Amino acid sequence: MVSGGLTPLLFLKKSKLFLLLFLVVSFVIVIAGTAKSYSHTKPLLEQTTLEIATGDSINKILSNFPINLLEQSLLKIFLYTNNIHLIQAGHYDVQSKTWSEIFVDFSEGNIKEYRFKIQEGTNIFDLKKLLLSSKLKLDCPDFNCLNNQLNFTEGTLMPETYFYNFNSPASNILIKSQDSFIEYAELLWEKKQPSNPLKTLDEAIILASIVEKEAGNNKEKPIIAGVFLNRLNLNMRLQADPTIIYGLLPNFNGNITKLNLQDSSNRYNTYKIKGLPPTPIAMISKSSLEAVILGIPNNYVYFVAKGDGTHYFSTKYADHLKAVRKFQLNKS
């Protein structure tokens, strides 16, 4: 007799097959879910960045992390189930990120961006230290990549924040910075008034660097620039402490002594030399250069620091001495 149903043996075989299939699918789902959950955790890493070279395999990349074989397997499953196969070379930020975020960055090429800030008031010695501590490729020793037609490098870079990738050439930033500054300075110089005693843009840059170091705020920059311009007109020495300090670099110990003031061998000693020092003494901001070239004239020829970031200005030497007694010697 022919039966319309499954025989007990065939039913049993199919049941086992379905059970096995169910177990396999369940196992895959559990593993995939575990891998996904693990990908959303943040690894405990000592390093903050990771460099991936061209051609690095997944195994090579994973070997950079302090994880065991199980964790490596979970990450491989995560990468496979999320179709992440292509890893781009570069220098990546891996700090405070989940595994998922890290590998998405690797896949999309979201390489780490660094900042290089040239600060107004700093000098060439500061800049050399900044370059050495950066992640830039140091391809411009002694700044020989810059415009050799200029009379000096100090003071000819635009104070700004520049962004770069790991091992980018330092020359890219330095040349861009200098080109930007020179373009701005030349346009500004065209607006100089005939009454301004400065004869060249070089002189303006040098004086602006002194104003940069002397002024405690932008509001006083035109006044301080006016003082120095008046002194130049009167053939008076500038007597600016920051110039002495610059001449003592990189070995200045923080104190200007009487011997420093009397040192005629210091080419930057404006207590001894007349006129401007031979080069700028710092990187200058736009506001300092504008104060020197476009500043409103005044009658002041003296100023003294008041101790609060501002200065007291005088037209007469007697008044200046009184201000010195009051603000620096604390005598009324």
* pLDDT bracket for residue 98 (50, 70, 90): very high
207 & 319 share domain: yes
212 & 174 share domain: no
Q: Are 286 and 155 in contact (CB under 8 A)?
A: no
> Looking at residue 12, what is its pLDDT?
61
Q: Cβ contacts of residue 309 below 8 Å, gap of 6+?
A: 216, 217
22, part of any domain: no
> Of the segments 22-36, 52-66, 272-286, which one has the largest average pLDDT value?
272-286
249 & 313 share domain: yes
> Looking at residue 329, what is its pLDDT?
80
> Looking at residue 137, what is its pLDDT?
96
* pLDDT bracket for residue 27 (50, 70, 90): low
18, part of any domain: no
SS (H, E, C) the chain: CCCCCCCHHHHHHHHHHHHHHHHHHHHHHHHHHHHHHHHCCCCCCCCCEEEECCCCCHHHHHCCCCCCHHHHHHHHHHHHHCCCCCCCCEEEECCCCCHHHHHHHHHHCCCCEEEEEECCCCCHHHHHHHHHCCCCECCCHHHCCCCCCCCCCCCCCCCEEEEEECCCEHHHHHHHHHHHHHHHHHHHHCCCCCCCCCCCHHHHHHHHHHHHHHCCCHHHHHHHHHHHHHHHHCCCCCCCHHHHHHHHCCCCCCCCCHHHHHCCCCCCCCCCCCCCCCCCCCCCCHHHHHHHHHCCCCCCCEEEECCCCCEEEECCHHHHHHHHHHHCCCCC
Q: Are 182 and 152 in contact (CB under 8 A)?
A: no
Final residue in a domain of this structure, among 90, 108, 126? 108
* pLDDT bracket for residue 1 (50, 70, 90): very low
19, part of any domain: no
Final residue in a domain of this structure, among 159, 186, 213? 186
| Phi, psi (degrees; rounded to nearest 5) at 106 | -60, -40
170, part of any domain: yes
53, part of any domain: yes
How far CA 302 is from CA of 56, 243, 280, 306, in Å, comes to 66, 16, 21, 13
Range of the domain at 94: 29-108
* pLDDT bracket for residue 296 (50, 70, 90): confident
> Looking at residue 223, what is its pLDDT?
96
Average of per-residue pLDDT across 44-50: 87
Report the DSSP beta bridge partners of residue 117. Answer: 161
164 & 266 share domain: no
> Looking at residue 5, what is its pLDDT?
57
pLDDT at 332 over 60: no
127 & 145 share domain: yes
317, part of any domain: yes
* pLDDT bracket for residue 10 (50, 70, 90): low
The region of weakest confidence among 12-16, 248-252, 306-310, 325-329 is: 12-16
| Total count of domains within the chain | 3
In the numeric block, which tokens belong to residue 300?
A: 């002041």
Query: Of 156, 139, 136, whose CA–CA distance to 147 is shortest?
Result: 156
The total number of residues shown for the chain amounts to 332
Average of per-residue pLDDT across 70-94: 90
280, part of any domain: yes
Q: CA torsion, points 8, 9, 14, 18, in degrees to nearest 10?
A: 80
pLDDT at 235 over 60: yes
> Looking at residue 33, what is its pLDDT?
78
pLDDT at 40 over 80: yes
pLDDT at 298 over 90: yes
Percent over 70 (pLDDT), the chain: 92
> Looking at residue 19, what is its pLDDT?
67
Average of per-residue pLDDT across 46-54: 90
The region of weakest confidence among 1-15, 59-73, 99-113, 202-216 is: 1-15
pLDDT at 180 over 90: yes
144 & 166 share domain: yes
Average of per-residue pLDDT across 223-243: 96
* pLDDT bracket for residue 28 (50, 70, 90): low
